[in-house]
Amino acid sequence: MAHFKINEQIMLNWCSVVEAGYHGNPYHNSMHAADVLHIMHYIMTKGGLVERCQLRKEDLFAGLFSAAIHDYDHPGVNNSFHVRTQTYYATLYNDRSVLENRHVSSVFELMKLPKFNIFAGFPDEIRTSMRDTIVDLVLATDMGLHTKYVGQWKRRIQEDHNLDKKDDQRLAMQMMLKMADISNCGRPHKIYRRWGEKISDEFYMQGDRERQLGLPISPFMNRKDPTVAKSQIDFMNFVVLPMFESISDFLPNMRISVKHTEENKQHWMDHGDSPPPA
């Protein structure tokens, strides 16, 4: 706040309105936003990203801002649900990254009001650059585009690990926000299990809505046919571990995330869908 000359009251207003804009979903709520913000900060500082990519203060700020807003106004159903039911947002955003576009555009719309505009004191050039970065980071959290971003990342770091150019810095920050967003799998088992229960609850709620609408129930969202163990093992094998391992090669301080993911995967392989001990 001191570095960017942000008015304290405006910052408090902004934090309050962003927190209030998260709904009471089992998983995609303000606690998830705070959690992702915390992990993003950890990756950028203790994880070594700021030093590794020679990030500036405005890059760090954009990363934290993106984490805080990345699921703002999340309705508790995914992009596929919006597209299949052709909601207003699906039409508005042409079926492309529906929720992610909603999250980031809503917050910038709020910031047109002076009482929420924490960028008011920023020079035009920095404000424009930060907005571009934030939009790119939040849109990268669309899991429908996960393979695209991971492939781009792997190709880039196979060339060399010198990511101090602007485009490379932004790609690295996109990957770190993606990692923070699905970081639960790379946490100690008790923490991971609590978050896993929350996401399962939210998935089942979407499945219930799909059943009521006469739609095919999305994979892993049918509470009458729970397959949590399989869904989690597949998610870790095909989504989490390849990305975490690649990031850990670049940021060795994040290697612990791979260790915890392997442990959590092993738990499901050992116990299946049996209930956890009391």
Q: Show which residues are catalytic.
A: 28
How many residues are present in the chain?
Answer: 278
What one-character DSSP code corresponds to residue 276?
Answer: P
Closest CA to 247 of 178, 146, 165, 147: 178
Are the C-beta atoms of residues 184 and 192 closer than 8 Å to each other?
A: yes
Contacts of 9 (CB under 8 A, 6+ apart): none
Are the C-beta atoms of residues 79 and 141 closer than 8 Å to each other?
A: no
Residue whose tokens read 């947002």: 89
Closest CA to 163 of 78, 51, 46: 51
